[in-house]
Structure 1
Amino acid sequence: MMNILKRYRAVFFVAGALGILTLFNRELGFKAFSITGYSLKEMLLVIPPIFVLMGLLDVWVPRETMVKYMGEKSGILGILLAFFIGSAAAGPLYGAFPVATVFMRKGVKFSNILIFIGAWSTTKIPMFLFEAASLGTSFALTRLLVDIPGIILLAWLLTRLMKPAEVEELYRRAEDPSAKG
């Protein structure tokens, strides 16, 4: 019981703060509860399909295949695959992190994981099509041509700035989420 209280103390604190807010300002409190409920509903609609896809990826794609195509020696192919998978993905950015965890378990190179997350957040195909229709093709292409090298540069920079022990710790935690750092 104490573990549950300790683990979810932030949730209980926020719920209590919302309750107190509602006591002092009923309209604002109800609006906050409404926004919270909407966000929870949205997450409950997005997270399950992502976890199903993660499970399928985990079971269907052998580790050796992921290492071959996206591992340490994957080269340009790993970068292209990271961009393609990230750009073709659907859902909000918080959906990328569980997938990145599966990638870590499968031996994907750290920089390719960073490229995947960057692609998920900025180069999605539906976003590109929306921008092209709304803001013009030249804007959408310019943004894409700036984002792609930017993502690669940031992945390279973060890989160089992080200590190998920090990266190893991330991979270790991906293998065993209960491990404390």
Structure 2
Amino acid sequence: MIKLLNFLKRYSFFLLSLLILILVFVFNWDLGTKSFINAQSSFIQMLSVLPPIMILLGLIDVWVPKEALMKYMGKNSGFTGVLIAILIGSIAAGPMYAAFPFTAVLLKKGVKFSNIIIFMNAWCVTKISTLLFEVSAIGYAFTLSRLVIDIPGVIIMGYLVEGLMKKEDIDNLYLRYDT
């Protein structure tokens, strides 16, 4: 019984979404079909993106020693850690959900929390692939103006999130990924 309750708790969002999808099918077959096709398409896209990322993360986890990441991106990394976090986030490829497994590796390796937030923000707003598209679609002036605003914003957001979170909550995140 306890295992069933844990299962229901862990997968409650998925189960609720499935129930809503079934209800949509019951009341509006066409909308339910379109919703299912969209969900299927997103799932297939996720399956095509995550395996290569997981392999890369496994290699990083094994090949990059914890001490190296702590030295360059840890608590005392200063501007170097910020710069590396922005660089890694900017050269990343794939949708945002692909950043979360990488974030788990950064937590496991002891990277400073603000640098993790900076990395995630950089993944969202400074990806080189997105910038190239943006330059071709909107132009250099807009892209450069946005970067001039976004890069300081990414850094500020990293320190702001770290400052607003309770130290014990941050420590609990690190404990969850400590091996």
TM range, smaller chain: over 0.9
Q: Which has the higher contact order (CA 8 A, sep 6+)?
A: 2
Instruction: Give the partner amino acid of 1:82.
Output: A
Distance 2:102 2:123 in 1: 11
Aligned residue number for residue 148 of structure 1: 151
Distance 1:7 1:78 in 2: 34
Runs of 4+ in 1 over 6 A off after TM superposition: none
The 5-angstrom pairing of residues 23-102 of structure 1 reads: 23-102=26-105
Distance 1:166 1:9 in 2: 23
- Asked if 1:22 corresponds to 2:25, the answer is yes
Distance 1:6 1:114, change over 3 A: closer
Residue number among 93, 99, 120 corresponding to 2:123 in the alignment: 120
TM-score by length of 1: 0.91
Partner SS for 2:168: helix
Aligned length: 176
The answer for unaligned runs of 5 or more in structure 2 is none
Identity %: 48
Distance 2:12 2:166 in 1: 32
Partner SS for 1:107: coil
Distance 2:20 2:158 in 1: 38
Instruction: Give the partner amino acid of 2:112.
Output: K
TM-score by length of 2: 0.92
- Asked if 1:8 corresponds to 2:11, the answer is yes
Higher mean C-alpha deviation, range 20-29 or range 34-43: 20-29
Distance 2:143 2:76 in 1: 32
Partner SS for 1:43: helix
Q: How large is the RMSD of aligned CA atoms in angstroms?
A: 1.5
What are the superposed Cα offsets for residues 93-138 of structure 1, whole Å, 9 maximum, x if unpaired? 1111111110011011111111100100100001111111111101
